[in-house]
Structure 1
Amino acid sequence: MTPSPWTKTSPTAVLVFADGTVIEGHGIGATGQAQAEVCFNTALTGYQEILTDPSYLGQIVTFTFPHIGNIGANGEDIEDLTPAARIGAVGAIFKADITAPSSYRSAGHFDQWLKSRGIIGLTGVDTRALTAWIRENGAPNAVIAHDPDGNFDLDALKALASGWSGLEGLDLAKDATSGQSSTWTEGPWVWDQGYGDAPEATAHIVAIDYGIKRNILRLFAGLGCKVTVVPATASAEDVLALKPDGVFLSNGPGDPAATGIYAVPVIQKLIDSGIPLFGICLGHQILALALGGTTVKMHQGHHGANHPVKDFTTGKVEIVSMNHGFAVDGTSLPEGVDETHVSLFDGTNCGLRLVGKPVFSVQHHPEASPGPQDSHYLFRRFMNMVRERKGEPALAER
Structure 2
Amino acid sequence: MAEGPGGRGSGRLDSWKEIAAFFGRDERTVKRWEHRRGLPVRRIPGGGRSPVYAYRNDLEVWLRNSKKPSRSRAIRSVKTSQPTNDLYLNGVYLWQKRTPASLGQAVEIFTQVIAVDPDHAPAHAGLATSYDLMVELDVVTPAHGFPLAKAAAERAILLDPTLSEAQSVLADIEFFWLRQTEQGLKRFELALALDPQSVQALHWHAEALLYAGRFHEALRQIDKAQALDPQSRSILSAKALILFRAGNPAEAERLITQLIANEPDYLPPYWGLIFIHLAREDYAGYLAVSERLFRLKDFAEGLAIVAAGVKGLQTAGPPGMADRMMATAEPHFGQGKVTAYYMAHIHGLRNDWRNAARFLAEALARDEDSVVDYSVDPAFRTVQAVPQFQARIAATALPVIA
- The reply to whether TM is greater than 0.5 is no
The two structures have a TM-score, normalised by structure 2, of 0.26
Task: Tell me which protein shows more helix as a share of its residues.
Answer: 2
The two structures have a TM-score, normalised by structure 1, of 0.26
Asked which structure has the greater CA Rg, the reply is 2
- Larger RCO (alpha carbons 8 Å, 6+ apart): 1
